[in-house]
Amino acid sequence: MSPWDKDVGLYVHIPFCRRRCHFCAFYLEIAQPAPMARFHSALIQEIALHRRQESLDSRALQSIYFGGGTPTSLPADQLAALLTLIRATWPTDVTAEVTVEAHPSSVTARDLTVLADAGFNRISFGAESMTEKDFASIGRFGQVQDTAAAVQAARRAGFRNINLDLMYGLPGQSLQDWIHTLESLMTLAPSHISCYALTIEVGTRLAQDIAQNLVLPPDDMLQIDMESAAERFLAEAGFSRYEISNYAKPDYACRHNLLYWTGGEYLGLGPSAQSYLHGIRFGNVADLDAYVAYLSDNRLPTSDHTILSVSERQRDALVFGLRLLCGVPRTAIEAAERDHQIDELIAKGLLDADHYRVRLTSLGRRYADTVAEQLF
């Protein structure tokens, strides 16, 4: 088997939102008809160029993921047509996971029916919280009851695999508020939950507000309590924590994200999308005008290429694999020649090891970035 006979997935970055949430640092533009039309044409050209260059050889896609931004900023019929084009361009495994992210406060019941009928079989809603005051503190539009309505409409449309993205440690959010969010969402019976601790990204509105003492920064100890509460609560509700931020009902772990954590390969389309193919990491330009200009000129909109050496690939496999609760095989440690660092991390209580596997401890999960830095 060649090293590149691996599972492969496709990511499509739709870089539009109605407005920018205060914490969000993703590359995106405010949704307007003219830039969305230019993006749509350029994306079709990007697919054609990758097909011509045979970027994905003949492997069948195991996952397709439309993320953003808010993919459902584009008309649902357009998303459906894009999925049809992708499937006509590349072979797709019959069991492929096909995800679309959606905003609960703007997606309609008709949109959801069109998306399910087109073949999307997993939907991910950016719920964030079930407390109205949290929406105000992070600049998220909509109302908390929109999430329940969207999940019910998605189920009626035929979606069985439904994820809810949540955030904790929001400005002014208490432990009780967080538990209220978890309790409220359980009534919606999602199959997957992602819980992200709020982090403050440079250049965001929230970073500015904190710098001007208008908002308090996240409280580390409270975030730790919230993480522990989520782990306990979700375990009792039948979810397994399989990655630092991700919990799933049996058989509902996100296959697309597992590609990232297990050294699988992926092609990214759209501005700022990242790819990893044939041992090369490359990224698209994070600018819509530049993206459109490259593609109008019949050139792929890539801005950087990094060819990973064998040892860099082994190190990446270790760093990403340790995000999984099951950890990595001991052989991965030996291959990456990180035995010394691993011994130090075990001594600090950040890693745990047996004869077969090495994994993060609960303390290590809180300091996963520190662990990753030590392994680089």
CB of 19 to ligand SF4, least distance (A): 7
Q: Please, what is the minimum distance in Å from the beta carbon of residue 279 to ligand SF4?
A: 30
Nearest to 96 by CA among 57, 52, 59: 59
- What would you report as the CA-atom Rg of the chain, rounded to the nearest whole angstrom? 21
Nearer to ligand SF4, 62 or 70 (CB): 70
Of the residues 17, 170, 259, 273, which one makes contact with ligand SF4 according to CB under 6 A: 17
When asked if residue 69 is in the footprint of ligand SF4 (CB under 6 A), the reply is yes
Instruction: Kindly indicate which of the ranges 43-51, 67-75, 242-250, 345-353 contains the residues binding ligand SF4, using the contact rule CB under 6 A.
Output: 67-75
Window of 2-10, 38-46, 63-71, 253-261 that interacts with ligand SF4 by CB under 6 A = 63-71
Bond preceding residue 69 cis, omega within 30 of 0: yes
With respect to ligand SF4, which residue has the nearer C-beta, 102 or 267?
102
Q: Is 24 in the site for ligand SF4 (CB under 6 A)?
A: yes
Pairing of strands 240-243, 246-248: antiparallel
What is the phi/psi pair of residue 319, to 5°? Answer: -65, -45
Answer for which of 45, 70, 99, 131 binds ligand SF4 (CB under 6 A) is 70
CB of 20 to ligand SF4, least distance (A): 5
Contact track, ligand SF4, 121-150, x by CB under 6 A: -----x------------------------
Using alpha carbons only, what angle is made at residue 57 by residues 55 and 59, rounded to the nearest 5 degrees? 125
Cα separation, 59 vs 57, in Å, equals 6
Residue 26 or residue 367: which is nearer to ligand SF4 going by CB? 26
104 forms part of the interface with ligand SF4 (CB under 6 A): no
Gap between the Cα atoms of 373 and 370, Å rounded: 5
CA dihedral 21, 22, 28, 32 (to 10 degrees): 50
Q: By C-beta, is 17 or 96 nearer to ligand SF4?
A: 17
Dist. CA 371–CA 125, nearest whole Å: 30
CB 249 within 8 A of CB 192: yes
Supply the minimum distance, in Å, between the C-beta of residue 215 and ligand SF4.
17
Query: Which string of DSSP letters, residue by residue, matches 77-131?
Result: HHHHHHHHHHHHHS-EEEEEEEEEEE-TTT--HHHHHHHHHHT--EEEEEEE-S-
Provide, rounded to whole angstroms, the least separation between the CB of residue 126 and ligand SF4: 5
Structure tokens at 109: 């019941």
Task: Please choose, out of 23-31, 211-219, 272-280, 363-371, the segment that lies near ligand SF4 by the rule CB under 6 A.
Answer: 23-31
Calpha distance 293→280 (Å, rounded): 24
For the record, the structure tokens of 259 come out as 């590609």
Site pattern 346..375 for ligand SF4 (x: CB under 6 A):
------------------------------
Residue with Cβ nearer ligand SF4 (82 or 167): 167
Q: Does 56 bind ligand SF4 (CB under 6 A)?
A: no
- Asked if 26 touches ligand SF4 (CB under 6 A), the answer is yes
**Residues found near ligand SF4 in the complex (CB under 6 A):** 17, 20-21, 24, 26, 28, 68-70, 103, 126
